Amino acid sequence: MITIIPAIDLIDGSCVRLTQGDYDRKTTYYKDPLDVARRYEDCGIKRLHLVDLDGAKASHPVNLKVLERLSTSTSLQIQYGGGIKSSDALKEVFAAGAKRAICGSIAVKQPESFREWLAEFGPERMVLGADTRDGRIAINGWLEAAQMGVEELIESFRNAGLSQVICTDIAKDGMLSGPSVPLYVKLQKLFPEIEITVSGGISSWDDIENLDRNGLKSVIVGKAIYEGRITFEQLAQYSRTASTDKKL
């Protein structure tokens, strides 16, 4: 059964969503991200996707106090991304309570550093952020395009033990138009030993079921929840079903 990972994107400590990664197309949904984090926890959700958009733009983590507050006030396993460009930043993120760290830009610009972190902290804690626009990897808060494709980026860390990738199709992000299913199916088949997490475009529960049928292992959902297209009741029912399946 596919794992659902709700997203909280942070700007100035508030829970927001951008459209196609555009900082000028921002909608604020919750002033206090702990409110929505607790709602997810109450639904039985286990993992949370926390994106520090300020950090991505500033090239260093900015919202660590929010991360620490969420990690100490809930039981959610938090995966954190945004501005992790140095060993010190990575250690700060883990010290603030993140269970997993998502690295994108540094994996492109300083691949040896990311390989070292995979070895030092383990592939269960390190996640590759492979964000793509028009077939090319986008970095630095999606503000810069790299001369590399998503398949090439993932392949470059395959022998280093990489086991988790979050792939965001930026053209779909925040558009509620449905995910790029063929892209994710292709990546999962190319890299069967790696968990490819779908991100971008989820518009309904049908999208999640379609990804599940196609063998994807995890999916990040953000705007569809905030806009009421996927309800907290559906998340709670999903969690109950997942718990029952595990017991069986």
Active site positions, annotated: 9, 131
Distance, CA of 67 to CA of 132 (rounded, Å):
26
Helices (H), 138-231: 150-156, 181-190, 205-213, 223-226
Nearest of 76, 45, 29, 39 to residue 226 by alpha carbon: 29
150 token code pair: 């998503």
Residue 248: count of CB within 10 angstroms of its CB: 5
β partners of residue 4: 219
46 token code pair: 């286990």
DSSP state of 52: E
**187 Cβ partners below 8 Å, 6+ apart?**
150, 151, 154, 165, 167, 196
- Cα maximum dimension of the chain: 47
